[in-house]
Amino acid sequence: MRHMNGAVTQVTSARRRLSPTKAALVPCLFAALLAAFVLVPPVRGNEGLNRTFLLAAAVLIAWALVLFIRARAGQRTLTLELAVRRHHWVQACAQGAVFFWWGRYVDQVYAFAPFIVAQLVFAYGVDALLQWSRRENYQLGFGPFPIIFSINLFLWFKPEWFHWQFAMILLGYLGKELIRWTKDGRSAHIFNPSSFPLGVCSLVLIATGMTEITWGQEIAQSQYNPPYIYAVIFLASIPGQLLFGVATMTVWAVVSAYTFGLGYFWITGTYFFHDAYIPIAVFLGMHLLFTDPSTSPSTGRGRIVFGILYGFALIAFAVLLRAIGVPAFYDKLLPVPILNLLVQVIDRGAASRWLGFLDFSWISKGLTPIKRRYGFVGIWVGIFVVLSWTGGLGDNHPGQYLPFWQQACDESSDRGCDYLAFMQDTYCESDSGWACNELGILFANGDRFSEAQESWASGCDLGFDLACENLTQLRTGAPGFGRAPPPLEELPIVLRGSKGPVTERTPEALYALACKRGWPDTCEVPPGDSERP
C-alpha cells in the first residue's frame, strides 16, 4: 500500500497478528542485541559501560514483561506492520553522508560508530514498546535512524556518563508520544524528537555546570576539520529540501544569521562567531536539526518566519551563553524546542496583513507545489554559490587565523585582544614557545604581570629563549620586552585555524601557507630560509 500525504510517501505491508508472547519477544530481541555490546571492543573491559549497556537492556526486558502481562490480561491483539516512510530514510541518508565525510577526517567519529549502533538498537526497542503500550499496532520502519543520527551529530556523553545518552533517547520518544496537540486537524507531536532531548539535556548541563561530561564542544570544533564540509552538508540536504519543502526555513535562517554577522563586522571590525559568519555546527543545525516538517509551520509564510526566528534566536542564545560564561555550542540546540512550541502561533501571526511583505507567492503563481519546491531550491543553490564565492561560507575565513585578531587587538579592540589571548593560550598549551611569549607580552601590556610571568615561564620551558629573557626583565623591572617571529618548527602549530592539523612540513610549503593566511613578512621568504616564518 502506498499512502500520499503531501510530499510524504509511506510504503506499508499487511499487518501481521502476534500473540502477546511473540510481541514481547520483539523488544527482548533488541535487548539481547544491546546486551551483546558488552563483547564489543570499545565496551568490553570498561566496567562502567558494561553496567550501562546491561541496565539499558534490563529496562527493555522489564518493560516487555509488563507489556506481556497487560496484553495477556486484556486479551489484546497486537500487530506488526512494516512502514517505510520516505522522509525517514531520506533524512537518515543525508545525516549518514555527513557522518561519513566527517569520520574520514576525524578518527573519533568512526571509533564512536558502535555506540551509535547501540543507540539505534535501544531506540528500536523503546519505539516498539511505546507503540504497543499505547495502541495495538507497531509500525516498523526507519524512524529511529534520523532521531539517533541527529542527536549524535551534536552531543555525545563520555563513556563514564554514557547512560545519559540512552536517557536522552528515552526522553525523545516519550516526548514524541505523550506531548501532543491538534495541528491541521490531526494529532501531532509538538517537539522534534531529537531536538527536544538535546534542548532539555543542554539546560541540565548548563544548570549543573557539567558540560565537561560530554564531547559537545569537541564535536562542534571537529566538524570544521573535513575540507568542503559546508558544501557536503549543503549537497546532502538537497534531496530532503526538494521532496519536503523545507528549504524555505534553511534559506531564511542562513540569510538572517549571515546578515547579522555582516552588520556586526561592519560595526565592530570583528566577527560575531569569531571564526566564521556561520559556524559549521550552526550551519548543520540549519539543515538537519530544526527542519523537521512535522514540527514546523505548515504555511509558506510561517516557514519563512520560523527560519528567521531560528537565525536570530541562536544569536541571542550565543550572547546570553557568553554573558554567563557557558560554552556557546548550546546556541543552536536551545531555540528549537521553543520554536516547536510556537509553530501554531507563528502560522497565525504569519497570516496577518502586517507580514504581507513575506508573501512571495506571486513569484510561483501558477506553478505546482513540486515546481515551487524545485524553484526555491534553485534560488538556495544560487545563494549558497554566492556566499561561498564571497567568503560568507566555506573552509577559509580570516577569523580562523591569528593575524586577523592580532590586527584587531593592535587597533584597540578589546574583543580582538580577548580572542587573541584565547588563541595564543591555545597554541601555548600545544607547545608553541613563541605563542607563550606573545601571550606574556599581551598580559604584561595589560598590567597582568602574574599571568605574564606564568606564560613566559611556560615559553622558557619550551625552549623559546626570548621568553626566558622577558621573564628575567619582568623580575628585574628592566623596560621593554623582546619578540621574534615563530620558529619554523612551530609553524604547524600557530598556522592552524579552526580546520584540521596543518600537514605541510617543508619550509616552502609552510611559508606559502603562512602567506595565504595573512602572516606578515612571509610572502617573500627565500626557499630554504628557516630563520623567518
Q: Is residue 521 in a domain?
A: no
Calculate the dihedral angle through the C-alpha atoms of 294, 129, 143, 184, rounding to the nearest 10 degrees: -20
Strands 2-5, 8-12: pairing kind: antiparallel
Final residue belonging to a domain, choices 458, 484, 510 = 484
Q: Is residue 154 in a domain?
A: yes
Same-domain check for residues 329 and 442 = no
Q: Is residue 90 in a domain?
A: yes
Same-domain check for residues 359 and 433 = no
Q: What is the reported pTM?
A: 0.91
Quote the DSSP letter at residue 506: S
Residue 365 — pLDDT band, cuts 50, 70, 90?
low
Q: What is the CATH number of the domain that holds 417?
A: 1.25.40
Q: Is residue 203 in a domain?
A: yes
More confident residue, 190 or 13: 190
The sign of the CA dihedral 45, 47, 49, 53 is positive
Model confidence pLDDT, tens digit, residues 381-394: 999 999 999 999 98
Model confidence pLDDT, tens digit, residues 122-175: 999 999 999 999 999 999 999 999 999 999 999 999 999 999 999 999 999 999
> What's residue 14's pLDDT?
76
> What's residue 467's pLDDT?
95
Q: Is residue 119 in a domain?
A: yes
Model confidence pLDDT, tens digit, residues 474-508: 988 877 899 999 999 999 999 998 888 888 889 99
Same-domain check for residues 424 and 382 = no
Q: Is residue 103 in a domain?
A: yes
Strands 78-85, 8-12: pairing kind: antiparallel
Cell of 491: 609553524
More confident residue, 195 or 1: 195
> What's residue 1's pLDDT?
44
Same-domain check for residues 319 and 466 = no
For residue 277, with 0-12 CB atoms within 10 Å meaning exposed, 13-18 middle and 19 or more buried, which class applies?
A: buried
Same-domain check for residues 327 and 453 = no
What's the mean pLDDT in 341-361? 78
Same-domain check for residues 332 and 252 = yes
Structural domains counted in the chain: 2
Q: Is residue 56 in a domain?
A: yes
Could you give the percent of the chain with pLDDT greater than 70?
94
> What's residue 373's pLDDT?
85
Rounded CA-CA distance 172/267 in Å is 41
**Are 151 and 123 spatial neighbours (Cβ–Cβ below 8 Å)?**
no
Residue among 28, 53, 58, 30 nearest 43 (CA): 53
Distance of CA 413 to CAs 269, 338, 407, 524, Å?
8, 35, 9, 29
Q: What range does the domain containing 405 cover?
A: 401-484
pLDDT at 372 exceeding the cut of 90: no
Model confidence pLDDT, tens digit, residues 26-42: 999 999 999 999 999 88
Same-domain check for residues 426 and 306 = no
| Widest CA span in the chain | 91
**Are 399 and 406 spatial neighbours (Cβ–Cβ below 8 Å)?**
no
Model confidence pLDDT, tens digit, residues 288-325: 999 998 899 988 889 999 999 999 999 999 999 999 99
For residue 247, give the H/E element and its range.
Answer: helix 247-268
Alpha helices in 326-464 (DSSP H): 335-341, 343-350, 369-390, 402-410, 414-429, 433-445, 449-461
Residue among 240, 201, 212 nearest 337 (CA): 201
Rounded CA-CA distance 526/515 in Å is 13
What's the mean pLDDT in 61-75? 94
> What's residue 323's pLDDT?
94
Same-domain check for residues 419 and 386 = no
Q: Is 17 helix (H, G, I), strand (E, B) or coil?
A: strand
